[in-house]
Chains A and B, each alone.
Chain A
Amino acid sequence: MFSSDQSYWFVRKVICWRAAAGIAWAVLLLPPIAAVFLVLSRFSLLHPVQTISECLSLLTSASAIFSLILMCGVVILVGFLNLEYYTVIPTIACSKIALLGHLLHPRQLVNSLAHCIMGIIVAWCCAITIGDRYEILGYPCPQSDGDGSPHLCLNEYHLILLLAGAFVGFSHSLLGVIHNMNYVSFHTVQQYKYLLVKGSLPMVVKCSATQALYSIRNYIVLYFFLGYIPKAWICGTLNLHLNSSVQPLDSIAGLLDLCLLYHLWISTSFLLFTWHITLLLFRIFVTEVYSFPVQSSFTEEAHQCLPKVLTEKQPMILKFLALQDLALLSQHSPSRRCEVLSLSQPGGHPHNWNAISKECLSLLADLTQRLVAYHDTVATNGRAKSLSAGSERKTSSDRSVTSGTEELMSPRPTLLLKTPASVFARSIVGTPRSPLTAPFTPDLDSPLTSPALRRFTAPVEQCSPWFGTVQSPHVMRRAPKLWSTSTDSQVNGSPQSSLASVPSPKQEPSKPSLLAQFLQNRKEQVYKELMLDNFLFQLPEASSQALFADSQAHIWALEGLSYLVQASFSEDQFGVVQTTLPSILSCMLVLQEAVDRHFKLPHASSKPVRSAAGMGDSTHKTLRFALRATLKTAIYRITTTFGDHLNAVQMSAEHLKRLQQFLEYKE
Chain B
Amino acid sequence: MCSLALFPPPLPTGQTTLCESNNELLESSPLSLYFPRESLKLHSRTESSSKAAFLDHSETLWMRSAAAWRDGGFTGLLSEITNSNTEVPKWLSVTSGCILALLQKFSSFHGSLFPHLTLSSEDMIAEFSQVLNWSDCVVRAFAWHPHTDKFAVAMMDDSIKIYNPKSATTPTLKHRLQRSVAAVQWKPLCASALAVACQNCLLIWHVDPCSLSARPSSGCAQVLSHPGHSPVTSIAWSPSGSLLLSASPMDTAMMVWDVASESCVPLQRVGGGGVTFLSWSPDGSHVLASTPSALFRVWETRMWTCERWPCVKGRCQSGCWSPDGSRLLFSVQGEMVIYALTFSNGPQAAAVVADLSETTFNTPDGDIVVGGEIQSLTWDPTGERLAVLLKGDPQAVNRPAIIAVFKTRTSPIFELLPCGFVQGEPSAEPRLMQFHPSFQHGALLTVCWSSGRITHVPFYFLSAGVPHFGLSGSPLLPRPQMRPTDLANQSLYTELTS
Contact = CB atoms under 8 A, between A and B. Distances in A.
6 contacts: A188-B242, A189-B304, A192-B305, A623-B261, A625-B261, A640-B147
Interface in A628-655: 628-630, 632-633, 636-637, 640
B144 to A, nearest CB: 13
B210 to A, nearest CB: 5
A140 B189 CA distance: 77
Interface of A: 187-192, 195, 199, 331-332, 559, 607, 619, 622-623, 625-626, 628-630, 632-633, 636-637, 640, 664-667
Contact of B242 (A195, A628, A633): A633
B209 A665 contact: yes
Interface stretch (B109-117, B262-270, B273-281): B262-270
Given A189-B304, A667-B191, A628 B260 contact: yes
B300 to A, nearest CB: 11
Given A622-B261, A630-B242, A665 B304 contact: no
A141 to B, nearest CB: 41
A323 to B, nearest CB: 15
Nearest to A627: B260
A205 B483 CA distance: 70
A666 B145 CA distance: 13
Interface string B124-158: 00000000000000000000010110100000000
Given A190-B302, A192-B303, A665-B148, A629 B260 contact: yes
B268 A199 contact: yes
Contacts, number: 79
Given A637-B189, A665-B148, A629 B243 contact: no
Given A331-B240, A633-B242, A626 B260 contact: yes
B190 interface: yes
A191 B267 CA distance: 10
B258 interface: yes
A632 B190 contact: yes
Interface in B207-251: 209-210, 240-243
Per DSSP, chain A at the interface is: helix
B336 interface: no
Interface string B302-327: 11110000000000000000000000
Interface residues of B, number: 29
B261 A626 contact: yes
Interface of B: 145, 147-148, 150, 189-192, 209-210, 240-243, 256, 258-263, 265-268, 302-305
Contacts of B241: 633, 636-637
A346 B265 CA distance: 47
Per DSSP, chain B at the interface is: loop
A666 B265 contact: no
Contacts of B268: 199
Given A199-B265, A625-B260, A666-B210, 4 more contacts: A189-B256, A633-B242, A637-B240, A666-B209
A607 B242 CA distance: 19
A630 B302 contact: no
A632 B206 CA distance: 13
A364 to B, nearest CB: 17
A188 B303 contact: no
A359 B284 CA distance: 28
A190 B148 contact: no
Contacts of A664: 148
Contacts of B265: 187-189, 191, 199
Contacts of B209: 665-667
Contacts of B148: 664-665
A195 to B, nearest CB: 8
B304 A191 contact: yes
A666 B191 contact: yes
Contact of B259 (A187, A192, A607, A629): A629
A629 B242 CA distance: 8
B190 A332 contact: no
Nearest to B266: A199
A665 B145 contact: yes
A619 B258 CA distance: 11
B190 A636 contact: yes
A191 B305 CA distance: 8
B67 to A, nearest CB: 21
Contact of B189 (A619, A628, A640, A666): A640
Contacts of A189: 243, 256, 265, 267, 304
B160 to A, nearest CB: 18
Contacts of B240: 331, 633, 637
A199 B270 CA distance: 12
Contacts of A629: 190, 259-260
